[in-house]
Structure 1
Amino acid sequence: MIADKVSDIEFQEREVIHRDQFLYVYGRKSGLLRSAVRAQVETFAKRAGWEPVSVMAGGTLREQMRAPSLLGEMFVVCDAAEFSLADLQGSLIDIVDGGASNHMLLMVADGSELLEEEEWIRAKDAFGLIEEPLVTIDNYRSITRFLLRRSDLATVQHLGDDPRFLGRVKAFVQDSRSSSPRSLAMEIDRIILTEMKNGAFEQETRLIERRERRVLSEGLNQFLDDRRTGTLYPLLQFLSNACLSGDSAAGILERLYRASANVVAGRDQRYKRNREGNPAVLPYLAWGILLLEYESSLMEGNFMVAFEHLCQAYHGAAGRVEEWFVDETNWQAVLLRILGEPAQEITGLGQARATLCSALNARSRALLDRLQLREATSARFHELVGKSAVPANE
């Protein structure tokens, strides 16, 4: 015998120990593990060599439990609701007194009148009982962890040790007059699917995303303004951590595009240069163009290696930025990246790319009025911007 009484959750997590009869009480409005318990007992019966049979139409459970068989011991799976109270009482008398030669899994919904009968009490004392538990303050943690382990939602098991998540579950249990495993499972799914994102609560996720945007923006600004190892390292470390945490190359590049667009457009008012109109935009234009040019390398190869090569290219361009823009080897890229308005994009990466292209286009126009460039560079920009049929969108 496994125990006098065991919950169906405990029964699921243990190897089935031999018993001749299985009695199972499940929640009438729940029965979350009813199919799983049945499957587990049927597996045990098969290993024990019990032949599965059904009660024939017009027959009784008591007759089936007493019937001899040439095939050996037989095994019946049944629900108490399918039989009369008298038939059930007789069957229970037989299994207790030794009048039954076969075995059964008898499933009974809570509230059944059978549960008040003396025959039931004697049977459960003799063979033990599997029972679906109510969820209470005393057991909600263990039941929650069990439900998370069997959830079809990916990577949620760690929430069983998350204080805030468990707090939300506890509040649900306290607010419910009685909570079943099924209702708790539904609440767990609701919390995960509607209040959380990537394993964290939405509000926390927004705070994390906002903090990461700020860190990336600050790191990028510092490197673009002061190209040295001390400013490059924090930026590389941030991106490396993003890669190690499982972020996709497309997701990281999308964030880089948006941060770079803000730098090019001069939107971050924490920087005095932006409050004063951000006249020093030429190196940022070079960065934006190079970032767009390196997209395929970042997406298809080793992201960190490609990004280091991008930074090296920017270091070389920013050191002679006016010459870089009029260099014949770069002019095609410049022309491609800052002429015209990008096509409509529907993906997050595509929209971020379009945002950067729009910022480059707008800043390239503003550059003519805000910088005194050498004659060759100014002529090139007049030629370039003059070909665009799309008005500035600053």
Structure 2
Amino acid sequence: MSTPLTMTDIEFVRLPELTQRHHLYLYRENSALLRAAVRAKVIRHAELEGRELRDILTCPQRVVRSRPLPPGSQAREGSSRPRGDGWPGFDNGDASAELSETRVLPSLHLTVAEPSLLGETLAVHDLGDKTLAHPPIDDIERALDLISRDAGLQSLCLLVPDTHEVVQTDAWRAAVETVGLIEEPKVTPEDYLLVARTYFPQSRLGDLSHLSENRRFLSRLRKFVEQRTCTPFELSLQIDLIVLGEMEGGEFRSIEQTETKRRRQWVLPETLRRFLDDRDGASFSALMQLVDGLHHDRMLEPDEILTRLYRATTTTLESRDKRYRRLEDPLHCVWAALLLANEGSFLNGNTFVAMDCLCQSYSRASEATPWFSSRDGWQAIAPLIEIAPAKDPSRLDRARLELQRALRARLEAMQEGGLDWFNCLISLSESGDTTRSSNEQRVIAIREVD
């Protein structure tokens, strides 16, 4: 890429070598199927050239934000609060008060502009990563301006979702004209095969390269793409659904076998229980097919699917199903805690993806007591110390409350040393010995659904 070019991420990861110092990667919101591969290729190329990976530098920056005032509060505050410099941004004729604060934020401009004792280095930043703090828009534009003028001392790989506001700026367009653009494509009937064959070797279900020449499978994929333009990630989900729901041993099941299997899978408690006990590929596949069927075949909304998962899990914890005449596995409590902690992923994201991540997390937990003593464990069960019913509860609220109570009862009954802290806090909460100052935030927050 000696001259600025716009290319797909599929083309980029196949390049034999890179010649640009800076890289701009534009990916689709909620997709970015090859984001990790793009990042890895840029870093590997920098290492070959002797450029070390560096962190994004930070600096204090003044942040101004508006805070709406309650109706009628101006008159009250006007008589009790001092005016002028004591209240930055305060305006008697305005219905809001500006609050300013100095915060330490990442700075792409500083990262690109500052020299380093290590010589030229590489910094990588993903503006779509919700776990990171991000620079303000003007700082990003200043960094892009350095890149477009080839005035930066350090190199930068910037990954940007296509919905980010910087994409609409002149600084972004100038930088793209200078260094080119790596872009995640939309999947169309013309290029779906290229995207699918790129995904097959790295699929979430293992190496599926054998499907590259399966005409029936590729025909199913083409029909899916012809119905709608999709992102590469959505195509990868469809590949997983076909493999899990319609294939066995690399071959399609007969229509009769598929329909019989679907009818058997409508009962959620049994299917869930088999997965919780067996934790193998067959039980995982059956559970994922069932959840997908509830969503696509029965057209259930995510909140209804989650409600049914809550109730099925409660049934397991309370041992209502008498067909399972053996001691309850403490790991069932781990599943219940993970399910409660991941409610937001089900309601605000993709149900199938949320279910897959949840099952993978459960499969990685080998023992209950060490897991509950871990950071993820105690954060998941801490809200159970104080359980409060929601006002005007919905079906989901009631199902959640039942599961919280069932899980808390199981945890209190467990005679494991790793849960001493939990039982101690329960006792303190029930006796009323816990105290909080009037201005202290609550440590435990029970999320309620309107």
Q: TM-score, normalised by structure 1?
A: 0.49
Q: Select the structure of larger CA radius of gyration.
A: 1
- Structure number having the greater helix percentage: 1
